[in-house]
Structure 1
Amino acid sequence: MDPRGARDVLGLVASSFAEFHYGEPSGVSDPLGWPGYPERQHELSAETGLRESVLCGQAVIGDSDCVLISFDFRYFGGSLGSRTGNRLVHAFDEAVRRGLPVVSLVASGGSRMQEGMRALLQMQRIAGAAARLRAAALPHVTVLRNPVAGGAWASVAGSADVLLAVPDATVCFAGSRVRGASEDAEAFTSNGKLAQGQVHRLVELEEVGGALSELLPLLRPTRGDAPEVPRALGHTELPSSGAEAVQRARAAERPRAEAYLADYFDNRFALGGADPGMLCGFGRRGGRSIAYVAQAGTANSPAGFRAAARLVRLADRLRLPILTLVDTPGAAHDAKAERDAIGPAIAELFTAVADAVVPITTLVVGEGGSGGALALTSHTTVWITPDAYFSVIAPESANAILKREPDELGATIDQLRLRPQDLLGLGVVHGIASHAPHDVQ
Structure 2
Amino acid sequence: MTATAPREEQLWSRCAGCATLLYRKRLRRNLDVCPECGVHARLGAPDRVRQLVDPGSFQPLPDRLADLDPIDFVDVLPYPHRLTAARAGTGLTEAVLCGTAAMGGHPAVLAVMDFRFLGGSLGCAVGELITRAAERALDDRVPLVLVTASGGARMQEGALSLMQMATVSQAIAALREAGLLTVSVLTDPTYGGVAASFATNTDVVVAESGARMGFAGPRVIRQVTGRALPEGFQTADFLLRHGQVDMVVPRRSLRGRLVALLAAAQGGRRPVARPAVPRQQPAPPAGVGTVAQNPVDGPTSEPGSTDADPWATVRLARHPGRPTTLDYLEHAFDGFVELHGDRLGGDCPAVVGGVARLDGRSVMVIGHQKGHTTAELVARNFGMASPAGHRKALRLARLAARLGLPVITLVDTPGADPGVGAEEQGQAAAIAENILALTVLPTPVLAVITGEGGSGGALALAVADRVLMLEHAVYSVISPEGCAAILWPDRSAAPQAARALRLTAPDLHRLGVVDDIVPEPPGAAHADPEAVARTLRDAVLGALLPLLDVPAATLVRRRRQRFRRFGAARAGLRAGAR
> Which entry has the higher C-alpha Rg, 1 or 2?
1
Higher relative contact order (CA 8 A, sep 6+): 2
Instruction: Tell me the TM-score normalised to structure 1 length.
Output: 0.49
